[in-house]
């Protein structure tokens, strides 16, 4: 019986002697949009810096990447052959700076969509220079989630967020782009829109089939692991368990 008790004490001690345990921790980097200028157009491609030494995103605008379709509830993949376009940064309806397309096809006309990602427009974000891992404070973190912080400026049809699976934007033949939907939905005017995904793609296309949205910022989350040593109280319990084990084994040996 005492032998069984000793074995039990030993198992308890072994369990308590686990030197450390890993905990998942996160590091988040954010985008910083350029300051609003007048005129507000920025030649593409635009470089959007990331905090924390995580690299940068390259942005370019496109016209004609999505068909103008007032109907809602239908996911529509980016079309090939869209025309590159400059970008713009302006204050949206919240007063925050938002990234949109320069809308050359709407210049000279009165339109509430000018300066935003308007009908048929898209902003493509290239993550080629975003680091897959970041080391800070002695811990290495790996990219595992992207969050797009958008604002729905004008109600209408759908917003579309797609990731590039293979190929190139406007590529042909073997390089023809293949897109996968990240999230689509119906625009609700005057409300923020957050799209988060753990599906990591080299490029993302954000656009609308009608009306307008803009991009206020992006967050890229990285995950890492930290090793934590056992607490002092745990070490006391381990010591007590080992002492008890030693005494039990010693008594058993004498009786034998």
Each residue's pLDDT tens digit, 121-134? 999 999 999 999 99
DSSP letters for 132-182: SEEEETTEEEEEEEEEEEEEEEE-SSEEEEEEEEES-TT--GGG--EEEEE
Distance CA 71, CA 98 (A): 25
Q: Is 50 found in the same domain as 12? A: no
Q: Is 171 found in the same domain as 150? A: yes
Read off the pLDDT band of 111 (50, 70, 90). Answer: low
For 174-197, write each residue's pLDDT tens digit.
Answer: 999 999 999 999 999 999 999 999
Residue 82 neighbours by CB distance under 10 Å: 21
- Min mean pLDDT across 68-82, 149-163, 230-244 is at 230-244
Instruction: Write out the residue range of the structural domain in which residue 242 sits.
Output: 2-19+231-255
Q: Is 214 found in the same domain as 129? A: yes
pTM: 0.78
Which 8-state DSSP code applies to residue 65? S
Q: Check residue 28 and give its pLDDT.
A: 80
Which 8-state DSSP code applies to residue 124? E
Q: Check residue 106 and give its pLDDT.
A: 59
Q: Is 242 found in the same domain as 133? A: no
Sole residue written with tokens 């989350």: 221
Measured CA angle at 168 (ends 165, 173), to 5 deg: 100
Residue 32 has pLDDT above 80, yes or no: no
Q: Is 223 found in the same domain as 248? A: no
Q: Is 221 found in the same domain as 235? A: no
Q: CB–CB of 206/160 below 8 Å? A: yes
Q: Is 81 found in the same domain as 57? A: yes
Q: Check residue 229 and give its pLDDT.
A: 57
For 150-171, write each residue's pLDDT tens digit.
Answer: 999 888 789 999 999 999 999 9
What is the count of structural domains for the chain? 2
Q: Is 151 found in the same domain as 91? A: yes
Higher-confidence residue: 133 or 73? 133
Q: Is 98 found in the same domain as 181? A: yes
Calculate what percentage of the chain has a pLDDT beyond 90: 45
Mean pLDDT, all residues of the chain: 79
């Amino acid at each position: 019986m005492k032998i069984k008790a000793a074995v039990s004490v030993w198992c308890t001690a072994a369990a308590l002697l686990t030197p450390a345990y890993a905990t998942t921790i996160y590091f988040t980097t954010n985008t910083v949009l350029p300051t609003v200028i007048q005129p507000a157009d920025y030649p593409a491609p635009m470089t959007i810096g990331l905090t924390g030494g995580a690299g940068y995103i390259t942005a370019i605008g496109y016209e004609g990447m999505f068909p103008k379709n007032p109907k809602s509830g239908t996911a529509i993949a980016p079309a090939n052959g869209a025309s590159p376009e400059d970008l713009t940064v302006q204050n949206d309806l919240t007063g925050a700076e938002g990234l949109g397309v320069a809308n050359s096809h709407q210049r000279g006309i009165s339109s509430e969509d000018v300066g935003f990602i308007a009908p048929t427009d898209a902003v493509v974000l290239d993550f080629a220079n975003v680091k897959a891992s970041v080391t800070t404070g002695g811990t290495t973190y790996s990219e595992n989630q992207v969050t797009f912080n958008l604002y729905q400026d004008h109600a209408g049809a759908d917003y579309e967020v797609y990731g590039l699976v293979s190929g190139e934007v406007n590529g042909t033949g073997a390089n023809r782009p293949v897109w996968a939907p990240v999230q689509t939905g119906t625009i609700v005017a005057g409300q923020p829109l957050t799209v988060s995904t753990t599906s990591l793609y080299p490029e993302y296309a954000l656009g609308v089939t009608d009306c307008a949205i803009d991009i206020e910022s992006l967050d890229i989350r990285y995950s890492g692991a930290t090793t934590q040593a056992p607490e002092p109280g745990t070490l006391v319990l381990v010591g007590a368990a080992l002492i008890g084990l030693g005494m039990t084994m010693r008594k058993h040996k004498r009786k034998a």
